[in-house]
A = this chain, B = another copy of it.
Amino acid sequence: MNEFSPVDDGDVAVRIAAHDHVADIVEALNDQPRDAAIAALNELPFEQTVDVFDQPDFDDAAEIMGMLPRDQATRLLSAMSVDRAADIIREFPDDERGAMLGALDPMLRHTLLNILGYPEGSAGSIMTTEYVSVPSDWTVARTLEHIRKVERTRETVYAIYIVEPTTHALLRAIGLRRLITGAPDDKIVSIAPDRQPVTASPLMDVEKVAQLITKYDLLAVPVVEGDQILGIVTVDDIIDTMIEETTEDVHRFGGMEALDEPYMKMRFLPMISKRGGWLCALFLSEMLTASVMQHYEVELEKAIVLTLFIPLIMSSGGNSGSQATSLVIRALALREISLSDWWRVALRELPSGLVLGTMLGLVGVARITLWQHLGFYDYGSHWYLIAATVGVALIGIVTFGSLTGSMLPFILKRLGFDPASASAPFVATLVDVTGLAIYFSVALVILRGTLL
């Protein structure tokens, strides 16, 4: 972060003038205050400015574009890759968006409106229309000649789509590496792999597209409606999407709404509201623990020693639940398991919980026995019953935690929510209330007639 902006302006312009990779230029610009960034951009040749705006990592691209003269902005948008232009226009305030679109070439406007029409997070919304497709009756030589001509205006030329000459229906896909090994007079369709290309539908979830690209090791996947190609999604877009999705998942697993901006750039109040919402919801649910405690108040007064282990026992339930949830969220995301496998998972988590609970239970009993015998603390003459209560409660609570934690993502998915919304704090809250009830119930059974 540069805090001496006026002096450094020239410095930056110099620093980014050389043969720097565009990604490094973008990084330098991102570290500048907005005015300095615009000044530095104005020093760049037009081609390089286009490259900068083409980088999804360029922060505040829409705001900065909005501050440029309208005709410069229009020229930039026209020269940029279509998918990235759509991204930027999507960020414009509603009133500016119309004006900006109106200033563009009608064909480009039509394409952009098409992409903007697809819901965010769909293949259609991130696709580019700048791909290479050729009729199936072309030869290798003619195709290569075509690629040489259009190369500069295509996001990728490594995947080439072969279409039916009159209907333009997608027939085959071929990689450039295979194409260049063909003889010049070969019909392109004769050297393409004899297989239906892997395709995505425009409404397909981006995560699903990422899975297709990963599974089939593709550099791009065509977005197809009926038999017509609408555009392609490239591996770059997918990597960016995967990083964003991971960030969202981590934030949500941490028990909050996903921030959609970098942590240090997010303004204070929006951040507080994204965190405060869940925090309050969890707090209100957790209030049930106070009600449970009130319910057992008589027992608490008789055996105050029971309160000593409440935090220990509750947290064990939450921890085992959090483990199980993280396992199941990830297995669902990787499609290792599907919704219908819930009972298989339950049949694994039940014995897991029992074994883990028994382990913790034994440690708990050992601790109470040790403290009692070493004289660190006197749990009273019925200390062994207290130890038994803690041990048995731990078995019950850890088992319950593992089961609840593992089933919660399934339940959310069944209800149509993202299973990754099952956060660690959410599971802990669910388990806390029941955990207390389990603890006091066990205590009532074991301590009846002695302490209770």
Contact = CB atoms under 8 A, between A and B. Distances in A.
A264 interface: yes
Given A275-B323, A314-B314, A337 B263 contact: yes
Interface stretch (A35-43, A87-95, A115-123, A244-252): A244-252
User: Looking at A180, A254, A279, which has the most chain B CB atoms within 10 Å of its CB?
Assistant: A254
Contact of A180 (B144, B219, B235, B334): B144
Interface of chain A, helix or strand or loop or mixed? Answer: helix
A178 B15 CA distance: 27
Interface in A269-322: 271-272, 275-276, 278-280, 282-284, 286-287, 289-290, 293-294, 297, 300-301, 304, 307-312, 314-316, 318-320, 322
A239 B236 contact: no
Contact of A311 (B178, B289, B331): B289
Nearest to A251: B326
A355 B274 CA distance: 13
Given A279-B356, A287-B312, A287-B367, A319 B255 contact: yes
A146 to B, nearest CB: 11
A214 to B, nearest CB: 5
Contacts of A178: 151
A205 to B, nearest CB: 16
Contacts of A452: none
Interface string A354-388: 01100110011001000000000100000000000
B286 A315 contact: yes
Contacts of A177: 147, 151, 156-158, 176
A148 interface: yes
A368 to B, nearest CB: 9
- List the 10 closest A-B pairs by CB distance, nearest first: A254-B326, A424-B424, A289-B311, A319-B425, A263-B331, A293-B308, A262-B336, A256-B323, A307-B307, A23-B215
